[in-house]
Amino acid sequence: MNTYCKFETALDILIGKWKPVILLRLLNHGTMRFSELQKSIPDITKKMLTQQLRELEYHDIVHREVYKEIPPRVEYSITEYGQRMTPLLQAMNDWGVNHIAHLTELYGEERAE
Amino acid sequence: MNTYCKFETALDILIGKWKPVILLRLLNHGTMRFSELQKSIPDITKKMLTQQLRELEYHDIVHREVYKEIPPRVEYSITEYGQRMTPLLQAMNDWGVNHIAHLTELYGEERAE
DNA sequence: CTGTATCCGATGGGATACTG
DNA sequence: CAGTATCCCATCGGATACAG
Assign residue B54 the CATH number of its domain. 1.10.10.10
Residue A110 lies in a domain: no
B46-103 pLDDT, tens digit per residue, is 999 999 999 999 999 999 999 999 899 999 999 999 999 999 999 999 999 999 999 9
Residue A32 lies in a domain: yes
For residue A52, give the nearest of A17, A79, A24 by alpha carbon. Answer: A17
Chain A environment of B24 (Cβ under 8 Å): 4-5
Whether CB of B49 is under 7 Å from strand C: the answer is no
Range(s) of the domain holding residue A63 = 7-80
Give the single-character DSSP code of A67: E
The pLDDT of residue A112 is: 44
Residue B66 lies in a domain: yes
Say how far A109 CA is from D20 C1', in Å.
51
- Report which of residues B74 and A113 the model is more confident about: B74
Residue B22 lies in a domain: yes
- What are the φ/ψ torsions at residue A66 (nearest 5 degrees)? -100, 125
pLDDT beyond 90 at A28: yes
A41-64 pLDDT, tens digit per residue, is 999 999 999 999 999 999 999 999
Provide mean pLDDT across the span A4-31. Answer: 95
pLDDT beyond 50 at B112: no
Count of the separate structural domains present in chain B = 1
Chain A environment of B95 (Cβ under 8 Å): 9-10, 85, 88
Residue A22 lies in a domain: yes
Residue A87 lies in a domain: no
pLDDT beyond 90 at B2: no
Residue B68 lies in a domain: yes
Residue B73 lies in a domain: yes
For residue B23, give the nearest of A11, A33, A105, A86 by alpha carbon. Answer: A11
pTM over 0.75: yes
The pLDDT of residue B109 is: 76
H or E segment to which residue B33 belongs: strand B32-33
